[in-house]
Amino acid sequence: MKAHFLMFAHYNAWANRRLYAAAGALADADRRRDAGAFFGSLHATLNHLLVTDVIWLARLRSIQGPPWGLDHIAHDDFADLTAAREALDDDLIAHVRDEADPAGTIAYRRVSAPDPVVQPVAEALAHLFNHQTHHRGQCHAILTRIAGEAPELDLLFHQREAAS
């Protein structure tokens, strides 16, 4: 099971690099324009993904995460956001490879609710990577609408590239 999640950690980093490269080609105003996504703009959606991954990685490590809301803008500057995303993706890969025990459990409290939560690590990792895919799809749609095209992000393309 660990190999399964490690593949998703690598896919996650690959897809984020492709998405950020395409987003970086846009004008800053286009990245910040409300595009009707759940978090509004491409910039806000990318921040949401970073914020949630920081929170989940803290939970997976059994440490207190930041008290951010899910709409928190962790990095207003796109270059800073990109650098933070790349570092976080590297950290997620390292965590899954070296620390995560998919058979274990984690315990945490959400910022929005005081009740303690105990959850299997495998379920938390599945959520983290599925959540990324969900919101990257929104980012892909925004990019397609603004730029007329967006990069291929399908897992199958990552797997073929990794195999070659």
**134 marked as part of a ligand binding site:** no
Which residue has 């299997």 as its token pair? 120
Burial of residue 97 (CB within 10 Å: 0-12, 13-18, 19+) is middle
**131 marked as part of a ligand binding site:** yes
- Residue 62: phi and psi, rounded to 5, are 60, 40
| C-alpha span between 39 and 134 (Å, rounded) | 13
* Rg of the chain (C-alpha set): 16
**48 marked as part of a ligand binding site:** yes
Nearest by Cα to 28 from 43, 47, 49, 7: 43
The pair of three-digit structure tokens given for residue 48, joined into one six-digit string? 């949401």
Three-state DSSP state, 50: helix
Going by the annotation, the residues of the binding site for a divalent metal cation are 48, 131, 135
Going by the annotation, the residues of the binding site are 48, 131, 135
